[in-house]
Each structure stands twice: as C-alpha cells, then as structure tokens.
Structure 1
Amino acid sequence: MNAPHLHYLTTSALALLLAASGAALAQSEPTALVDQQHCMFCHTRDAPFLAPSFQQIADRYRDVPNASVMLEHKLRLGGKAHWGDMAMPLPADRGGPLTPEDAHTLVQWVLSQ
C-alpha cells in the first residue's frame, strides 16, 4: 500500500473514532423517566416554556462544581425557582418520588444537552 492510501485510511479511521466517541458522550433520553415525571409539561429541549429548557439548564450548570448533586436534590424534593417564577413541583405533583439513581440519570441526561 502506498503512502497516500495509508494516510487516507488512517485519517478515515481517526474520523470514525472521533465521531463514535462523540456519539457515546451524548446520552439518549431516559424516556420512561421523563414521561413518569412529566418533565415535558414545563420543559422542552431547546426553548424556554413554563420553565427553562434542558439546554439552558445544561448551559448554566454543566461546569458548576456539585451542580449535579444540587439538581438531583431539587428533582427528588422539589424546590424554589432558581430563575423565573416557576418552582420545581413536589414529586407527588409530578408523578411520584424518584430514587437517587433515577434522579442522577435524569440530571446527567439534562447536563449532556
């Protein structure tokens, strides 16, 4: 195999690896949890509705130390509004309590937006 073909194959393989790793970083929506908790009643992925979009939440908290712990706590217990007028409803008003694991799953998904 000559050098140009080897370079092309190496570059192509590297591009595929980078694309695959980027896809692995993007988490798929935990649809059952999103539906159970009625997240889409107040949030959308990319535009404010009754509450901030998931992208806005991710932009605000993605790089904040311990933000995931705070967000998981807020998801599990409800809480006052951090911006705007809409507070996070109590779990009983959203579809029931969340386990710490389910809260973690939802928050990690939101922060991956």
Structure 2
Amino acid sequence: MNVLSRNYLVACAGFVLAAAAHAAPEPAALVDQHHCMFCHTRDAPFLAPSFQQIAERYRDVPNAQFMLEHKLRLGGKAHWGDTPMPLPADRGGPLSPEDAHTLVQWVLSQ
C-alpha cells in the first residue's frame, strides 16, 4: 500500500467517525465519487485545507456558497497555498449544480 492510499484510508476512517457527530449528514457517495478525501480531511490540513478551515473562512461570507459551487464545478486557482482545485475530469467527472450545492452546504456545516 503506498503512502497516499494509507493516508487516504486513515483520513477516511477519522472522517467517518467525526462526521457522525455533526448534524449535516455526509454526502458519502459524492465525497467518494469526486475523490474529495484525496486532498481534504475533515479537521486538519492535508494537501488542501480541511473542510473545517473552509467552513470557518467562508461560512459568513456573502455569495460564498455560489463561489464555492462554481469552483467545485469548474476547478479554480489556489486560494490556500500552491494547490489549485483540480478540474472535474481529474477528480471523478462532471459535477451537477445540485451535487455541487449539496457538497458545499455540507462543507459549510462543519
């Protein structure tokens, strides 16, 4: 098992346990399909900011929901260090507006 696979499995296990304590249910199928956990974790920076860091930064920002949905659907430049949001084709394929909305709502609930 390579380091990325091991880190992914460790992050997933911790993420599942921690997510169970939150009111907003994890959209697990979307998280898996779009490989969110390859770069993010729930509560600690990894290759990208944690979901909690994203929520803290954007939760009360006007139009943040729209901006984050757009970034999920199209990819985007780096706002946290040097790693940009990959293009959808590089992380599981196209993301519908409804699925992007679901994911962003869940992240902002962290």
Query: Who is 1:78 aligned against?
Result: 75
Matches within 5 A, 1:1-113: 26-113=23-110
Letter in 2 for 1:93: D
- Superposed displacement of residue 83, structure 1: 1.6
Tell which structure's C-alpha radius of gyration is larger.
1
Deviation at 1:92, TM superposition (A): 0.2
AA aligned opposite 2:57: R
1:24-65 CA-partner distances (Å, limit 9, x unpaired): x82110000000000000000000000000000000000000
2:5 is aligned to none
Q: TM-score, normalised by structure 1?
A: 0.77
Structure-2 separation of matches of 1:104 and 1:75: 9
Give the ranges of 4+ consecutive aligned residues of structure 1 lying more than 4 Å apart after TM superposition.
Answer: none
TM, length-normalised to structure 2: 0.79
Q: 1:55-100: CA deviations, max 9, x gaps? A: 0000000000000000000000000011211100000000000000
1:103, 1:94 → 2: CA distance?
A: 13
| 1: CA distance, partners of 2:47 / 2:32 | 17
The residue that corresponds to 1:15 in the other structure is none
